A and B are shown apart, each in its own frame.
Chain A
């Protein structure tokens, strides 16, 4: 596999069919080391299939996987000793306590020091309930325990499928902080999620998958900066002058009037540059009466996935299909 140096996880041309249905269609992922990687896609796009392949639960029909710089093929199960995973819903023996479940899980795979279990129970906030049977746990508590299970071997690469499922707001914040802290320690966190806002505040790099193919991958800031927009409202008769004034900030094709009658124009630049827009216009004697800015992973997601909702239940009219967006940064891998 070429070009995978410095990557914690890489797939090349990954293919998987379920009967006549193609779940993965040449997926190429490149997950750098030491980042939180957000893996996004509508339902049925192939996220969970990818997770299953990466954890050896199912086998790909074609393509290659590299985990932590080494090939991961059928039979290379020991590669998973350095990987922690929570795939789909967390699974436990319902009649055992949280502590006992972690202890029995630790008996498989890589050896785990017993004190690690106590550390993890503390980390996920389950110390008080550690002797309670899991069958009485809420979804959120099971999810916390599942995350603890994924961290048992102190993995270099963590694969989490919808880790925020069932967590309360405090739990989500704690999980986010934990995952960021792990990444800051040099570990790689690969998170599949349907919570775009959560990924937006947590991920360093995102990959967006649709119909089994990667349609966009790159640093989140870079992708969002190109997705950003600053809208300014000036006097309608000054719109043309304002556009001319703003040319140094953005090329003409990224300057559009959105409502001439109301005097709104849009500058497709990073959202945090609203001040620059205001300053530039003021410098030219054009004063804004309104200023809005923002960038939105959801917009990018919808553009790239053909306007499919995250639940895959329909399309938003007017958002266009893949390739219709203006986003040009990042690694565009759409076929």
Chain B
């Protein structure tokens, strides 16, 4: 537990934590408020009504969550890579190993703390998004009567949990890539490239890409109301049913962490 609480203290004080969360919240709030403020003016255009859906409850809950898990997935990759990579780049893993700490325990507990921070970030961002949507609804002149929709609210914890699970899987990929690269910058760069590369490949190889980590993360969040999700490039990579995709999210998560742990255990630590 010492290592767990130490990990949390380190992440809470780390500027990257607040920059990442701040960027995600800032973008979300900005977009929702901007949509709310301009929705009436755009009502004459074809997408005016569609834009209003972002600030119309109860559907807004789902759209806010989709935004968070979508862009948040990319941020999670970067964040996970930054945390793991810095342990190698700064040599702090070396200091702990030289004190007799288990490499596997150290790396896994470090990722558990990252997962906790992702959960906190998700909840805070979601709350900020709901507040922004209420403001946006007022600006757009849309009723907020759907805010307390009991069916949606009862479904919300499970949706948030699944969203967290998907983002944690994406963060684990960044974490593992940076561990393999033993570098913060290389890990972040490779993580971003992997994220967009998968999205790009889904245009040409949808049958293969639908099993890849970012695609299954998207697919695991699909609901009957939202329908099949699409990736960032509009590819049809999310053909898997949500339940099957959820299992694959777990497989990718465990696989990534096992790989990171094994590599850390075997690696020669120098520098």
Which residues of A are at the interface with B, using a C-beta cutoff of 8 A?
52, 55-59, 77-81, 83-85, 87-89, 91-96, 100, 103-105, 107-111, 149, 152-153
Give A152 to B98 CA distance when docked, in angstroms.
12
| B97 pairs with A91, CB closer than 8 A | no
Give 6 A-B pairs besides A87-B94, A96-B10, A108-B100 with Cβ atoms closer than 8 angstroms. Answer: A58-B268, A85-B98, A93-B92, A104-B6, A104-B10, A152-B99
Q: Closest CB of chain B to A155's CB: distance in Å?
A: 9
The reply to whether the CB of B91 lies closer than 8 angstroms to some CB of chain A is yes
The 6 closest A-B pairs by CB, nearest first: A109-B99, A91-B91, A80-B100, A107-B6, A108-B101, A108-B96
Could you say which residues of chain A place their CB within 8 Å of the CB of B2? 107-108, 111
Bound Cα distance A87, B13 (Å): 26
Docked pose: A57 CA to B270 CA in angstroms:
7
Give the residue name and chain of the B residue nearest to A159 (CB): B98
A56 proximity list for chain B (CB < 8 A)? 97-98, 100
- Report B99-110 CB contacts with A as 1/0, cut-off 8 Å: 111100010000
Q: Contact check: which of A57, A93, A94, A111 meets B98 at CB < 8 Å?
A: A57
Q: Which of B2, B10, B95, B102 has the most CB of A within 10 A?
A: B95
**Closest approach, in angstroms, between the C-beta of B179 and any C-beta of chain A?**
16
Q: Given known contacts A52-B270, A107-B6, A108-B6, is B100 in contact with A81 (CB within 8 Å)?
A: yes
For the side of the interface on B, what is the size category? 20 to 34
With the chains together, A93 CA to B92 CA distance in Å? 7
Contacts of B98 in A (CB 8 A): 55-57, 80, 85, 87
Taking a contact as CB atoms under 8 Å apart, the answer to whether B101 and A95 are in contact is no
B5 at interface, CB cutoff 8 A: yes
List B residues 41-73 near A (Cβ within 8 Å): none
In the complex, what's the smallest C-beta–C-beta distance from B226 to chain A, in angstroms?
Answer: 39
Which listed residue (A57, A94, A111) contacts B94, Cβ 8 A?
A57
Residues of B within 8 A of A77 (CB): 97, 100-102
Chain B proximity of A48: nearest CB distance (Å): 8
